[in-house]
Amino acid sequence: MKVFICTEGSCEPIDVPSDQTVGAMRQMVKDNFLVQRSDDKQQHYLELSYGGAVLQDSWALCDVGITRGSAIRCLIKSERRPAMCVFNGVTGETLPIMGSEAFLHMSVARLKTVVSMQSGLPVSTFRLSTAAGVQLYDCNQLQDYAIEEGTTLRLDTWDGWGQFLRGCLLGHRLTVQSHLSEKKPVMRFQLKVALYIAAALGHLDLAGWLLERGMHAEKPVGVHPYRQWCHQTSHRDIGKCPIHTAAENRQLLILKLFISRNLLTLACLDPSGRDPLKVAIQHGHSDCVRYLADKLCSVVSLSNIRLPMHIYLQIKRWVSLGRKRAASNRCQYNSAAFKARVGDPLLVDGFNQPNMYSKPLKAATKPSRGIKAKALQPLPPIRNLVSHLPGLQSSKSSHILTASLESISHHCGRTRREKAIYCLSVASTFTEKPWLKQLSIARTLIRKRVHTPIQICHSAAQLLMDLPSPLAA
């Protein structure tokens, strides 16, 4: 069939088979129409889009509704080549680390800070290693390991933590709850990690549940309880709190949640001595800056007195310190919950195996017990979604959804509901197509088993939030 490739100022026809993949067509466009460019510092790539959606290489043209005479937009984009890459053993993604050659002379600790900001994981939950398996220690420089430009490092987490961290990254509260450790010190550390990730990525439901479980946004994540005797070599970012990463990542709703629960989070300082307002200012998040500044300049009304916020926070801090000292005096002979005890493992960097290879739990391992908490109300099944959304009562729409659900059962790795959301989210990217056409594309994708990266879960959640809008139109 003949389609048209539209670039700036031109529209050229090209003959392609209807079942050809986007990747093969992209190569044809490169060979026939475009001049190859070479640049040591810039990486050029070709982007094809149709119906408002960027086409993925694994898609077949007929699967996404591209027929004879369709016009496909073609753009040449360029980006700087990364100084290095980090393969994330938790998500399977590769994170590009941008920078100049001077970036290779930084410390490992600085690199872990950059990786933590990009991945959303606290620095105390992962380690970095070379392709040969050599672990990188925070106190050394990257050049000490002979790391060159373009090198790909590996990020690994504690063995058995993969599903737990993936649940945190996706904001799945029940997944997080079902993969908590049975050991209380480790479980408390996991809950702190989960709150940090929820604050970084904006998972309101998960963050609210963790606050109900007794977690505090103004408390740092710290280190794994088995590393309690290694504070001298710990990364400085272990003192970063969830409130700081929320301000750092422009999570305004998370900031409002944390501050509504505890006003002391406004005065919480990170390892560099910055409060959340200074963090938001340095990262240029104007909406967060306005909210935090308004809060700090507000007045607190008590029963018979009105106090400026900074005085109220100072009084609250004194009261909090007094309570902590009183509690420590009462329990001065009791061992702390996170202090190592006889029989506990002890990790000393460089002397024993770190047990951080991102390995899954063994099949024979007993599942972790869940925390007794109020169960999360499940969303209505996709079958019932038709009755709740206006405009989907037509027999044609119902037939499309029903047929799609029958095809879902042939997939593996996701539940029926997750597969339906997955394919609907892919189809929703074709914003220039009508709603029924998007449903038809979703049904085709289910039948053809088209796969996309793990980030599709985030777009699927956004799709469910946006569903009523196009239907009402």
Q: Which amino acid is at 155?
A: L
Instruction: Assign domain 2-80 to a CATH class.
Output: alpha beta
Distance separating alpha carbons of residues 200 and 117, to the nearest angstrom: 8
Q: Give the number of other Cβ atoms within 10 Å of residue 166's Cβ.
A: 18
What local confidence, expressed as pLDDT, does residue 378 receive?
42
Q: Give me the pLDDT at residue 148, please.
A: 86
What size, in residues, is the chain? 473
| Residue whose entry in the numeric block shows the structure tokens 């300049």 | 297
Provide the pLDDT for residue 384.
Answer: 42
Instruction: Label residue 103 exposed, middle or buried (CB < 10 Å: 0-12, 13-18, 19+).
Output: middle
Mean pLDDT by runs of 10 across the 473 residues of the chain is 83 85 84 57 74 85 86 79 89 87 84 94 93 90 88 92 94 94 92 96 95 94 77 81 95 95 91 93 94 91 83 81 71 49 64 73 47 41 41 47 45 60 81 84 72 42 43 39
Report which residue type is found at 146. A
pLDDT at 352: 62
**If you classify domain 162-329 with CATH, what class do you get?**
mainly alpha
Q: Identify how many contiguous H helices and E strands the chain contains and give both numbers.
A: 17, 11
pLDDT for 354 equals: 67
pLDDT at 229: 62
Domain boundaries, given as residue ranges, for the chain: 2-80, 84-157, 162-329, 382-472
- Residue 50 tokens read as 């149709």
183: tokens are: 């050991």
Strands 299-301 and 306-308: antiparallel
CA dist 419 and 209 (Å) reads: 26
Q: Please state which CATH class domain 84-157 belongs to.
A: alpha beta
Q: Which pLDDT belongs to residue 225?
A: 83
Determine the pLDDT at residue 369.
Answer: 43
| Predicted pLDDT at 63 | 82
Question: H helices of 331-391, where?
Answer: 382-388
Same fold, 2-80 and 84-157: yes
Q: What is the pTM of this model?
A: 0.64
Helix, strand and coil percent figures for the chain, each rounded to 5 = 45, 15, 40
Among left, alpha and beta (phi > 0; psi -120 to 50; other), residue 94 is beta
pLDDT of residue 451: 44
Neighbours of 65 (CB within 10 A): 17
Q: pLDDT, tens digit, for every residue of 112-138?
A: 999 999 999 999 999 999 989 899 988
Residue 87's DSSP bridge partners are 94, 154
The pLDDT tens digits for 258-281 are: 999 999 899 999 999 999 999 999
pLDDT at position 178 is 93
Closest CA to 127 of 157, 164, 171, 90: 157
